[in-house]
Amino acid sequence: MPADPTPPQESPDGPAVPTPPPMIVLGGVALAWILQQVFPVQLGPPAPELGYIVICVGAALTGWGLIALIRAGNDPRPDKPDAAFVPTGPFRFGRNPIYSGMVIMLTGIALMWGSLWAWLAVGGVFIALDFGVVRREEAYLRLRFGQPYEDYCARVRRWF
């Protein structure tokens, strides 16, 4: 029997995210590193000190978001149903602080490397997270939490 080509539908059981977001980020880093080894393209000098600072900022934002989710009783894995709607902590400033933090960390890596491929990875990972994860999660959260989530979306932007 052929596989169904339609994407999985969001349900109250979870957002049906097919690939864990950290794997998307690690895949982007790995692909950028491999391409830089095979076809090196430097955009400018590496800035390791600035890169480390940016990575730390991204890690702090990601950690803050994870702590807020866990304190609310949620499992932070996007394939698990949410027990509570969390509009507090870093979620007051952006609807996706964990993914924003991941993209910020990847930006730090791009600064450290100074390569075209790392900067393309930042854009590619952002697009993959936005379309492959965030939009599925938002559809799920609309189903799960209804009008309170709609009101939250009207007040708080998707990305930092």
> Is the residue at 11 inside a domain?
no
Q: Rounded mean pLDDT of the chain? A: 92
Is residue 51 assigned to a domain? yes
Residue 124 in any domain: the answer is yes
Residue 10 is predicted with a pLDDT of 44
Q: How many domains does the chain have?
A: 1
pLDDT tens column, 78-127: 888 899 999 999 999 999 999 999 999 999 999 999 999 999 999 999 99
Residue 88 domain-assigned? yes
Q: What is the pLDDT of residues 4-13, one digit of tens each?
A: 443 444 455 7
DSSP 124: H
pLDDT at 146: 95
pLDDT in tens, 30-83: 999 999 999 999 998 999 999 999 999 999 999 999 999 999 999 998 888 899
Q: Is residue 80 part of a domain?
A: yes
Q: Does the residue 147 lie in any domain?
A: yes
Mean pLDDT for 26-30 is: 98
Show the domain range for 83: 29-155
Residue 41 lies in a domain: yes
Question: Residue 23 contacts by C-beta under 8 Å, 6 or more apart in sequence?
Answer: none
Residue 110 domain flag: yes
